[in-house]
Structure 1
């Protein structure tokens, strides 16, 4: 078995993921092998993080954040290898999907680690930037926190998604099924230090 394959469990139904994204906007699926999850989490603990404590927006568009992020992840080593393997897994899965679900070729070119600590707010209901297109993947590495998909900035009709380490939360983004839908979501209820890895396709803001 190649190292790329060793990151993932064997069962992965992309058609079911796409159906859930079309219906709900977000879905969590078990995807990483336990050994890979442990290795990636250990590497995340060794990274250097910068605080993301701020309030942006105004009136009914306010978003508050309280966590730390690491955007300067080495382009060599474990995370680079994982990013390449994850992209290859998706490419292989989409070869079986007709028609292709995105307006442009999916190419995940942004990797960011996030750390949430007990007592921190997390992040209030928000949508990702319109500069993140096609598909967003949030890889749960370790810790206990709550991740919700909701309908608006007030958190209406919130639906909790599974944040078990090894699960990947997929969210649709502009370009999925020729739409510009960006689902609202938020992180709260941090009960132990949570590390997650975000993979996105970044382009200039639409």
Structure 2
């Protein structure tokens, strides 16, 4: 019989990874401070004599806001910084910079119940341009705030989650490892 988790209190997000299109494995994102996602819905409304009588909403995409300390190579790929045509060690950002699409995965912990939830946003791109801020005399290194758009993937989904204890025990460890190193929307689809 499958385990069913009835309560999950998210207390921490960790183990964040990004897998850019064309890469064979995920790389560490950096140190995440927070993650927030909000879904944009498409509304279909039926009116009768000017009064709404029916409404149907369908998710179109999610806007993700992340704060944290991001690794340099990840930040460059997110915003499309390149050293093409430049001297070694020099990178540029401009009109020809293209954000690389990526998959974002993470662990959300419930430290009260010792539970872990795997989350994945399967089709992300940068939703804002590069922003540079440096403050002299600060007593703490400021976290960067990034905004992404999580779009619908080939399965018509933009977000996946799995509580580890609810997964099939026969391949749980391999599934969790694959989630973090090489997540694809196909890996979560049930086989007949």
Specify if TM > 0.5.
no
- Structure with the higher fraction of residues in helix conformation: 1
- Structure with the higher fraction of residues in strand conformation: 2
The TM-score bracket by the shorter chain reads under 0.3
Q: TM-score, normalised by structure 1?
A: 0.26
Q: Which has the larger radius of gyration?
A: 2
